[in-house]
Amino acid sequence: MPILTPMKKNVLLVDDDHIFNYLNERIIQKMGISDEIHSARNGQEALDLLNQYLSGTTALPDIIFLDLNMPVMDGFAFLEAFKRMNMPGKEKISIIIVTSSQDPKDIARAKELGIDHYLTKPITEESIKKALSI
């Protein structure tokens, strides 16, 4: 049964694993959270998408599900670059780490970078509900 949300969210999945992106897109759609889901294979592609927002060609995501371990630009490098971006409305974006890492150092670093939600793969409807407080 889909979750009734006041307004559908624009979601960005950032992960180099195509299967992860596909499965999570299906979960998010099934939950009724979003009809508009974009994906990026690494942090650099995610930054490129956000820059398209600045140029007016794409909508700003409401939620970013971010993996940590990716080629080109990992999740931590993305978070540091995101913090430096001068982008109106970025403080309204919820970033949720979704990773296979349970390393306490990664969890601590995510908290230092202002991330409150750290989910371990595979994610479930319940873990998404808890992270989004729905």
The pTM of this model reads 0.89
Q: What is the pLDDT of residues 56-113, one digit of tens each?
A: 777 889 999 999 999 999 999 999 999 999 888 889 999 999 999 889 999 999 999 9
Strand locations in the chain, DSSP E? 10-14, 36-40, 63-66, 94-99, 117-120
Place of tokens 């978070």: 79
Q: What is the pLDDT of residues 99-110, one digit of tens each?
A: 998 899 999 999
Is CATH 3.40.50.2300 the right assignment for the domain spanning 10-132?
Answer: yes
Cβ atoms < 10 Å from Cβ of 123: 18
Strand order in the sheet with 94-99: 36-40, 10-14, 63-66, 94-99, 117-120
